[in-house]
Amino acid sequence: MPSQLQIIEYSGLIIRNLLRLSYSYQQINKPRRRMQLQKLISALFALFFAFSCAQAASQQDRLPDIGTAGGGALSVEREQIMGDLYMRQIRATAPLVADPVLAEYLRDLGLRLVREAEGIRFPFTFFWVNQKDINAFAFFGGHVGINTGLIAETRNESELASVISHEIVHVSQRHLARQIETSQNNGGLALAGVLGAIILGMVSPDLGMAALSGSIGGIQQSQLNYSRMFEQEADRIGMDILVRSGFDPQGAPAFFGRLAEKYRYSSKLPEMLRTHPLSENRIADTRQRADLLPSPINRDERRYWLAKYRVYARHLQSHTEQTFRQQLSANDPAIVAAARYGIAIVQLDRGDAEAAERTLAPLLTAEPRNPFFIDVQADILLKQQRYNEALAMLEQAYLRLPNEQTITLNYANVALEAGQAQLAVDLLRAYLQKESDNVLAIDLLANAYAKLGKTSEMYEQRAALYALYGNFDEAINNLHNAYKQNGSELEQRRLQARIDQLLDKKRQLAALQR
């Protein structure tokens, strides 16, 4: 798959392992009862994406007060457990972007918006899906996915932020939970069915992406009754968040208006328009509200442009060196810098490290601590085996920005390549204390332990990785291996506790299924 291949470009070492892992994951879990699964998962995904296209006027008089946050069938705690399980499944099936630079950018942007939202009950996580289709989606437990195709379609950061804040509201207002309750009350999809679909979906990861792009046509109208109200609520509250976070409120009507215009006569709508239908009314409402609000002037959008052109160059691979060169004469210096950055990535990714270094040099001189630039420079130096230069650059950056995942992961990766596995272990362990579910960090750490001959520790990290991919059996196997390799009684007790934890998690799954 191209999306996975291009992740290999980021770091061959890292991704070979991830590919192997998800491969064996799929080997282990052969899909059973395929047809039924497909149906269940389609229904489930429909719900995930179905904050949507309801006409359902006949049911309007039975609508509950929009202000009640459905606390009935789905407790916040249960919602989090489901979100966690579903995230594990997505890791194993969707073409997620394993790119620390973009991850850091999206997290900063997302959390900046979350800070201005009300009713936040759990920490939010944001992730990229490498798909051309224009889409963003939110599900249980504060997980928000953004397609690379979405940032590619936006024209400024406020447009991107308007979509993300809209999705944040779907989560903070518990639209999904409320929608499920509604469908239950109407005798639609039973909660047990929804939960079962998640669990069955985990057993059959190859169905995940098919379902992601599947249609929602099969779902009954009665299950989508409140969607239009939820859409309005997400638009309204989303714009408040947008403005409070310092973005331009015009971003929302500009983006949605352009999208509606673009696809007005199209028979094939992007996923986002299918799940968030744009009526004339909705756009007019949004525009009216935006016109009453102040627009900030001279926003600094340099990181947005770098992120977007990085997506073009490395993930969507939609731009050639020539396309980027045409942008070098743009009026906006942020666009010119991003175009130069895009050229450097294209050059590096086709193997021309010397050219890439020359292209990147002026950018790096101007901003020596910019993680976007440091990341590309680290790969340039790595390709030429200039380990000492790379280590010196990253050490300096790390001392100033010890919490930046781009710098930490690059530093650890270079240390590992340069034969300094212990340094990599120290860096990664410190990092994982702060962000325990970073798959790249865990994978690098497993490699570092392998190089040091610390087999028990290596198995333990592999277990952590399998668990993040929802494969609890393989995780427990690896923990048993770790246990056998470890002579310390104290460590064995700790490993046994971890095994018990994962067994609990498995039981939790079974319980949800009933």
CB of 170 vs Zn ion, minimal distance in Å? 6
* Long-range residue pairs from 387-396, CB within 8 A, at least 24 positions apart, any chain: 387/414, 387/417, 387/418, 388/418, 390/414, 390/418, 391/415, 391/418, 391/420
Please, which residue, 103 or 237, has the CB nearer to Zn ion?
A: 237
The active-site residue, picked from 79, 99, 167, 457, is 167
276 binds Zn ion (CB under 5 A): yes
Residues 229-248, one symbol each (x = binds Zn ion by CB under 5 A, - = not), give -----x--------------
Please, which residue, 135 or 347, has the CB nearer to Zn ion?
A: 135
Q: Active-site residue 167, yes or no?
A: yes
How does 404-420 read in b/e, with b if 16+ C-beta sit within 10 Å? bbbbbbbbbbbbbbbeb
- Is 231 one of the annotated binding-site residues? yes
Contacts (CB under 5 A) with Zn ion, residues 196-235: 234
CB of 282 vs Zn ion, minimal distance in Å? 10
Q: Which 3 state secondary structure label does DSSP give 511?
A: helix
Please, which residue, 51 or 124, has the CB nearer to Zn ion?
A: 51
Cα dihedral across residues 337, 343, 348, 353: positive or negative: negative
Where does this chain touch Zn ion (CB under 5 A) — which range of 47-55, 185-193, 471-479, 501-509? 47-55
CB of 286 vs Zn ion, minimal distance in Å? 12
Q: Which 3 state secondary structure label does DSSP give 183?
A: helix
The active-site residue, picked from 99, 157, 233, 235, is 235
Contacts of residue 442, defined as CB under 8 A and 6 or more positions apart, other chains included, come to 432, 461, 464, 465, 468
Report the 3 state secondary structure along 355-415: HHHHHHHHHHHHCCCCHHHHHHHHHHHHHCCCHHHHHHHHHHHHHHCCCCHHHHHHHHHHH
User: How many residues lie near Zn ion (CB under 5 A)?
Assistant: 3
Please, which residue, 164 or 234, has the CB nearer to Zn ion?
A: 234
Where does this chain touch Zn ion (CB under 5 A) — which range of 43-51, 91-99, 288-296, 420-428? 43-51
- Is 480 one of the annotated binding-site residues? no
**Are residues 405 and 435 in contact, defined by beta-carbon separation less than 8 angstroms?**
yes
**Are residues 411 and 392 in contact, defined by beta-carbon separation less than 8 angstroms?**
no
256 binds Zn ion (CB under 5 A): no
51 binds Zn ion (CB under 5 A): yes
Q: Active-site residue 206, yes or no?
A: no
Please, which residue, 91 or 170, has the CB nearer to Zn ion?
A: 170
Among residues 255, 256, 249, the alpha carbon closest in space to that of 280 is found at 256
178 binds Zn ion (CB under 5 A): no
CB of 231 vs Zn ion, minimal distance in Å? 5
Footprint of Zn ion on this chain (CB under 5 A)?
Answer: 51, 234, 276
* Binding-site residue ranges for Zn(2+): 166, 170, 231
Positions annotated as catalytic residues are: 167, 235
Would you list which residues are annotated within the binding site?
166, 170, 231
